[in-house]
Amino acid sequence: MNAALEQTLHIRDLGCQPYEPVFEAMKRFTEGRDESTPDELWWVEHDPVFTQGQAGKEEHLLFPGDIPVVQVDRGGQVTYHGPGQIVGYPMLDIRRRHIGVRELVTAMENAMTDALASHGITAYARPDAPGVYVAGSGEGKHLKIGSLGVRIRRGCSYHGLSLNVDMDLSPFLRINPCGYQGLEMTQVAQLVSGAPPAMTEVRNRIQAALMAALGYNSCQSVVDPGNILQDT
């Protein structure tokens, strides 16, 4: 096994993109990869979109209105993506890394909580509801700040995590987020004093924590990242 392939994570910054071209690119990348394909981490902000996972139920789409709804092949129910939200897609050969789905999910949850802790935000995962939460006012109340959902195909992962940083949260009121009626969402901008941290700063902290948890020793930026969306 090529040691550099095992230890290096390739980083692809896609900027702000519509959801569907990125979704199609994830599927193409996963279907076309082989044992010599490096693992990648894709960073993106999406134009406003609701995505409905394989377990999604129509009744959780309350009134989507002018925001498109895309049916996707990840686990989970319905969520919202929009500008001001960090979205990361770990495109990993988990079989080659000898990790399971639960380990990948835990690594993503912990990476988000670590990044939030660096900005003085105490967040946590819940065993009964995947994602990352902060305590709300009132006993036992949880506000959701980070979501995740993955798909494994041919031993490889796609889809991933999203963390609300500084965005318009109102579209979440048009759905039952992740299938939970009345679940309140929050974001970094509401939990820090002063201006929220830069998206790149939060993203870099998530990236560093993910790499450490999954055993990557170095990262390498992909040159001309937009090409991945143009491949046929």
Reduced to 3 states (helix: H, G, I; strand: E, B; else coil), residue 91 is: strand
User: Could you tell me whether strands 49-52 and 69-71 are parallel, antiparallel, or unpaired per DSSP bridges?
Assistant: parallel
Is residue 219 annotated as a catalytic residue, yes or no? no
**Residue 106 CA neighbour count, 13 Å, CB half:** 9
Residue 204 tokens read as 């870099």
Token digits of residue 143:
């506000």
Q: Cα angle at 51 between 101 and 159, to 5 degrees?
A: 30
Interacting residues of 160 by C-beta distance below 8 A, sequence separation 6+:
42, 87, 88, 89, 90, 108, 148, 149, 150
| CA angle at 203 for the pair 198 and 208, rounded to the nearest 5° | 130
Angle of helix 101-117 relative to helix 199-214, nearest 10 degrees?
140
Distance between CA atoms of residues 205 and 177, nearest Å? 25
Written as one letter, the residue type at 29 is F
Q: Annotated catalytic sites, by residue?
A: 178
